[in-house]
Amino acid sequence: MTTPVVVLDRYDDVTAALADPALVPVPAEPGPPGGVAWLRATVARFSAGGTHTGRRALVEADLARLDPARLRLAAAAGFEADARLRAVRVLAQALGLAEPEAVARAVAVVAGAYFADRPEDREADAAMAWLLPRMLPDAAEPSPEHAANRIGLLVQACDATGRLVDHARRAAAQGAPPAGLLAETLRQDPPVRAMRRQAVRATTVGAVAIPAGAEVVLETAVAAAGCPGAPTLAFGAAPRVCPGREHALALASGILHGASEVPASDASDRTGGAPVGAADAAAPSAAPVGAADAVAPAADAPATDGRDPAEVVTAMVGHVLALAAGWTDWDGRPLTADGRTYTPHKAIRRVTDHLIDHLAELEARLAGEATRPDHWHASAVTTPADLAPFTAADLDEARSRLTRLGRVWAVRLAALTPAQLDRSPGTGWTFRQLAFHVAESAYYADAVGDLTRQDKVGS
Ligand code: HEM
């Protein structure tokens, strides 16, 4: 006997069906312990009733440990071209798993078989055999059900997040504005377009009678498109709404925009109100591909004056190095400015990276290229190297590095025509404004300040 199939594509019907306890995910057929079929039969995603509730709680407990803002930063810092691998690697790392890159590769293999009703895939079973013992490194007696649901969490994240990033990139390439890119992609081109349910008993959805045993196809993308303004169905709906939606958005936004959009709590990387560095969302010059066309409001543009922009940059370098001369006396205690931690090495790092970043932007725009996504963590991180003592040798290296970099800027700016300086090619601030903006890097050195020991002054 063939199974009746009911297709629902009206918004109200789809949300009612998602909330109807008579309609459950098509149950997974069990398979040999530890394989993909066993995984499907053991995860929240294909369970129902009280079993679903318990398994979902395992996933939610894992997800509660992961701060979306941190995930975004970690995703921004990754270099895997494949967004699926980057998303899963970041999650695996955040969960404290060893070998996160290998975990991501294995999860991608499992994901290929996970949504098949009868997953017969030896490669995916082998990936499962490798993954399973690695899922709960801290548990004295690892629970197979918890381990399965942790794999389930990673597998659910894998393709869906990767597709969201791919779809958003496609939309950006077709001219979609960067503001609200992810939300708009979820609305217009969602990664998950439909879901399936099975009727465990006869039920009625809207005006549609669904016989027991029927398969129900929920066309979520079509339903959402027919009801503009209604909440998205891209992540499903209660009571099985995707528990990883915040994490998915954080990962996707990190991968798409680099570290440009720092978490709100870290968003104070500024000089006197003006954005500094590639890690500042407001700096159009630092905007990544796709977001590169986000022209900043004129009010955000750095102020310029009659000074030669080349001299403005080299004077900033001179100021930084003059302060740095006293940093060999630093007592090792980090300093704070605008709620952020600074040290001598960190100040040099930020000044250097800021000069490099905008030079790369300037050269790309002169060459007619779009600016590339950035991956700076900028002042949001303080690395172990930032905390190291600042020795006389470090000072010497900083002098050579920054002086040369200042010269590169000066030579480049001097070679520009007035038109290139003030009606610069590409999107963003003019090159004159960029030079004055880069000169604001003095902020980082000022945050550390003059550390010359009083007893040395004048000696
Ligand atoms: C853009 C990315 C994502 C999309 C569009 C998405 C979408 C969905 C949808 C539609 C469901 C519900 C399926 C149903 O009701 O049958 C779901 C479930 C689920 N998602 Fe996501 N998801 C995404 C990313 C993630 C991420 C990053 C995680 C984990 C970090 C995750 C974990 C889960 C889990 C564990 C379930 C099963 C929940 C349950 O059955 O109770 N998802 N997801």
The verdict on 144 and 290 lying in the same domain is: no
User: One-letter amino acid identity for 147?
Assistant: A
157 lines ligand 1 (CB under 6 A): yes
What atom of ligand 1 comes closest to residue 237's alpha carbon? 15
Task: Give yes or no for residue 90 CB within 6 A of ligand 1.
Answer: no
For the chain, what percent of residues have pLDDT higher than 90? 70
**CB of residue 160 inside a 6 A radius of ligand 1:** yes
**Quick check: CB of 243 below 6 Å from ligand 1?**
yes
- Encode pLDDT of 169-216 as tens digits: 999 889 888 778 999 999 999 999 999 999 999 999 999 999 999 999
Rounded to the nearest whole angstrom, what is the distance from the C-alpha of residue 367 to the centroid of ligand 1?
A: 42
The domain boundary, picked from 233, 258, 283, lies at 258
- Of 226, 258, 290, the last residue of a domain is 258
Same domain, 289 and 181: no
What total of structural domains would you count in the chain? 2
Residue 192 CB–ligand 1 contact under 6 Å? yes
* 366-375: average pLDDT: 79
CA–centroid distance, 156 to ligand 1, in Å, is 6
Ligand 1 atom having least distance to the Cα of 91: 30
Between the CA of 140 and the centroid of ligand 1 the distance, in Å, is: 29
User: Is 278 within 8 Å of 262 (Cβ atoms)?
Assistant: no
- Residue 258's pLDDT band, with cuts at 50, 70 and 90, is low
427 Cα distance to chain centroid: 23
| Ligand 1 center from residue 195 Cα (angstroms) | 11
- Do residues 83 and 161 touch, judged by C-beta distance below 8 A? yes
| Range(s) of the domain holding residue 352 | 262-456
pLDDT of residue 344: 97
Instruction: Tell me whether residue 277 is exposed, middle or buried, using C-beta atoms within 10 angstroms of its C-beta: 0 to 12, 13 to 18, 19 or more.
Output: buried
pLDDT band at 273 (very low <50, low <70, confident <90, very high): very low
pLDDT score, position 302: 85
Residues 84 and 28 in one domain: yes
Of all protein residues, the one whose alpha carbon is nearest to atom 30 of ligand 1 is: 244
For ligand 1, is residue 164 a contact (CB within 6 Å)? yes
Distance 177 CA to ligand 1 centre (A): 26
**Domain check: are 166 and 284 in the same one?**
no
Q: How far is the CA of 158 from the centre of ligand 1 (A)?
A: 10
CATH code, domain with 346: 1.20.120.450
Q: What is the pLDDT of residues 36-71, one digit of tens each?
A: 999 999 999 999 999 999 999 999 999 999 999 889
Distance 41 CA to ligand 1 centre (A): 16
- How far does the chain reach from its first CA to its final CA, in angstroms? 98
56 lines ligand 1 (CB under 6 A): yes
Q: Say yes or no: 203 and 308 in one domain.
A: no
| 392 shares a domain with 365 | yes
Average pLDDT, rounded, for the chain:
87
Residues 277 and 251 in one domain: no
In ligand 1, which atom is closest to the CA atom of 47? 40
Ligand 1 atom showing the smallest separation from residue 153 Cα: 35
| CA 235 to centroid of ligand 1, rounded, Å | 6
Q: Do 26 and 66 have their domain in common? A: yes
Of 221, 240, 258, the residue at which a domain comes to its end is 258
Looking at the fold, whether 204 and 317 belong to one and the same domain comes out as no
- Between the CA of 162 and the centroid of ligand 1 the distance, in Å, is 13
Pair 272, 241 in one domain: no
Q: What is the pLDDT of residue 453?
A: 66
Atom index in ligand 1 nearest the CA of residue 195 equals 16
